[in-house]
Amino acid sequence: MRKSSILAGAFCAALLCVSVGAQQAAPGDSGKKDVKGLSPRASAADYQSHAQAGTVTIAADLAGHGVPTADGVFENENYTIVEVGLFGAAGSHLNVSFKDFSLRVNGKKALIPAVPYESVFGALKDPEWVPPGGVQKESGNGVSTGGGNQSDPPAPVRMPMNLRLLMEQKVAKAALPEGDRALPGAGLLFFSQGGKTSNLHSVELVYSGAAGKATLPLQ
């Protein structure tokens, strides 16, 4: 009798696991996490700049090389980041793509197109992450902790993969959501523009998409 009870309990537990798995992978759910972007601010006026494109208000802040997320600000040196907000009438939608946005830097005629958020992953840095104290040096035959030419710079200590993946997930979640989106919405745009931000004498965000066209002076 005791053995039968144990088997019955195990069978019920297996059925429960299958049921939960079915709920998590409901029909039409590909398993891919939806990128939800940042929370939009109370109004377009809460951003550095805003402009009208048809019935939609485009608002934006220049974040420079900082990458603001809901869990803190990361850094990079190779990309300029813009936080954008999209506002419209209650219940309105807009078909959104990062390809709708470009930057005009220092009045140049050529525009810098936005790039996919994954582009910034290799350049991301977490200013709060402190590498372990022991720094290893590269040697001709591998890795050593001493000897050789003492003037050689130490090999860079890399962030553990699990921490880097977590950082990338936070940035992905903060990116501007794409597709048919309910308004208001907000998120980050990424532009391949490195160098010192002090060299950016003028910056304009140019929008050309489903809502129309708009240009926003950011600096």
- Does the pTM surpass 0.85? The reply is no
Query: Is there a domain that residue 4 lies in?
Result: no
Whether the predicted pLDDT of 199 surpasses 60: yes
Whether the predicted pLDDT of 92 surpasses 80: yes
Query: Is there a domain that residue 210 lies in?
Result: yes
Cα distance between residue 34 and residue 175, in whole Å: 11
Could you please report the per-residue DSSP string of 179-190?
EEEESSEEEEEE
Whether the predicted pLDDT of 211 surpasses 80: yes
What's the total number of domains in the chain?
Answer: 1
What is residue 41's predicted lDDT score, i.e. its pLDDT?
A: 97
What is residue 150's predicted lDDT score, i.e. its pLDDT?
A: 59
Tell me the average pLDDT across 178-191.
97
Cα distance between residue 128 and residue 124, in whole Å: 12
How does pLDDT run across 15-73, given as a tens digit for each residue?
434 343 333 333 333 334 455 789 999 999 999 999 999 999 999 999 999 999 999 99
What is residue 100's predicted lDDT score, i.e. its pLDDT?
A: 98
User: Which position has the higher pLDDT, 1 or 156?
Assistant: 156
Q: What type of residue is 26?
A: A
What is residue 134's predicted lDDT score, i.e. its pLDDT?
A: 45
Cα distance between residue 75 and residue 217, in whole Å: 23
What is residue 34's predicted lDDT score, i.e. its pLDDT?
A: 54
Query: Is there a domain that residue 22 lies in?
Result: no
Mean pLDDT rounded to a whole number for the chain:
82
144: containing domain: 35-217
What is residue 149's predicted lDDT score, i.e. its pLDDT?
A: 58
What is residue 151's predicted lDDT score, i.e. its pLDDT?
A: 66
How does pLDDT run across 130-173, given as a tens digit for each residue?
888 644 443 344 444 444 555 666 667 888 999 999 999 999 99
What is residue 14's predicted lDDT score, i.e. its pLDDT?
A: 45
How does pLDDT run across 101-134, given as a tens digit for each residue?
999 999 999 999 999 999 999 999 999 998 886 4
User: Which position has the higher pLDDT, 87 or 12?
Assistant: 87
Cα distance between residue 101 and residue 116, in whole Å: 11
Query: Is there a domain that residue 13 lies in?
Result: no
